Amino acid sequence: MKKYLKFFFLFSLFIICAYGAGRLYYALTGGFTLGNISSNLSYNEKWVTPPLSLSEKEDLHQILSQKFRYLGKGCQSYVFASEDGLYVLKFIKYQRFRPQAWLDYFASIPFVNRYRLAKIEKKHNKLNMLFTSWKIAYEHLKPETGLVYVHLNKSHDLKKSLTIYDKLGFAHQLNMDEMEFLLQKRATMLCSTINNFVTNNQMDEAKKLIDNLLKMILSEYQRGYADNDHALMQNTGAIGTVPFHIDVGQFVVNLNISDPTVYKQELFSKTFKFRLWLAKHHPELKTYLDKHLLEIIGPEMHQLIPRLKNPHAWSVEA
């Protein structure tokens, strides 16, 4: 009996240590590996983007001549910051869009294979939605997203090798022709920007940022573009008083959104959490935002209930 108890204890200890080591590795690396940002995707005409002008190519080449260092990760991508602090590179987290590899070993079992194929299709559809969103943002919403370049197909014309540094500081060389990525202007988060304006007694600038934010969102709605993620505070940045979307992963074309009845509800829902945050930290700006929302939405604003598509958007930042 003691022999079995000892075995059980040692086995449990091994499992705990293995799990702890795995969590430690993930904390240290952010889960980043070259394999997780690499793909074997084939060329797809669907993802072709407009060619760059000569000056745009020169600018891109100059930007990518810098080294980029690990900055963080989101649900869909790993983010690296340029040395000059002006740009970020985002590489797709392909592990999020791949089914578990162990399922392949049981593909000969019918019910497992059905599950595996369903998973493959679901992951493929999610990746397709991400690529579609990136393409919409690049081709139609450049000023609103700060996008400089999007590379969705493997190519031969970039001819650029890039050095990135992972979270642990190790260098990796990338052939950018082989990578799917986006290049974007680097911004300061929306709430941090407002905090800085208020701290420096720049209330006019804070109000101008709010004005520009409302104009940007309204312009998108009126042109039939919708961002399906209502987490405005987490997904919006600013350079000075100019706001833009830093997360471009959930854009869709939806002509219904251009209907004032629809976009008024959307605008109310999208700004709901932001209003809570302003009420807590900057009541004067909350009053200012409410005044302008009332002008856009009308008296029915007082009867609206937020319809948040992202459950995390309910929480209020500290």
- pLDDT tens digits, one per residue of 46-56: 999 999 999 99
pTM of the model: 0.86
Three-class SS of residue 200? coil
Cα–Cα dist 111/127, whole Å: 25
What are the boundaries of each domain within the chain?
A: 33-185, 188-314
pLDDT digits (tens, 9 = 90+) for 157-184: 999 999 999 999 999 999 999 999 999 9
Beta bridge partners of 172: 164
For 173, the 3-state DSSP assignment is strand
Q: Which residues contact 316 (CB under 8 A, 6 or more apart)?
A: 273, 276, 277, 280
% the chain with pLDDT above 90: 76
State the chain's mean pLDDT as an integer: 89
- Backbone φ and ψ for 190, nearest 5 degrees, come out as -50, -50
Residue 79 predicted with pLDDT over 60: yes
pLDDT for the residue 126: 93
Place of tokens 């990338």: 174
pLDDT for 202: 98
| The pLDDT of residue 26 | 53
- For residue 11, is pLDDT > 60? no
Report the relative pairing of strands 188-189 and 236-239 from DSSP bridges. antiparallel
Pairwise pLDDT comparison (117 vs 176), residue with the higher score:
176
3 state SS for 38-88: CCCCCCCHHHCCCCCCHHHHHHHHHHCCCCEEEEEECCCEEEEEECCCCEE
> Which pLDDT does position 238 carry in this prediction?
98
Q: Classify the C-alpha dihedral 123-125-131-137 as positive or negative.
A: negative
Query: What pLDDT is attached to residue 308?
Result: 75
Q: Where does the pLDDT of residue 31 fall: very low under 50, low under 70, confident under 90, or very high at 90 and above?
A: confident
pLDDT tens digits for 237-260?
Answer: 999 999 999 999 999 999 999 999
pLDDT of residue 29: 63
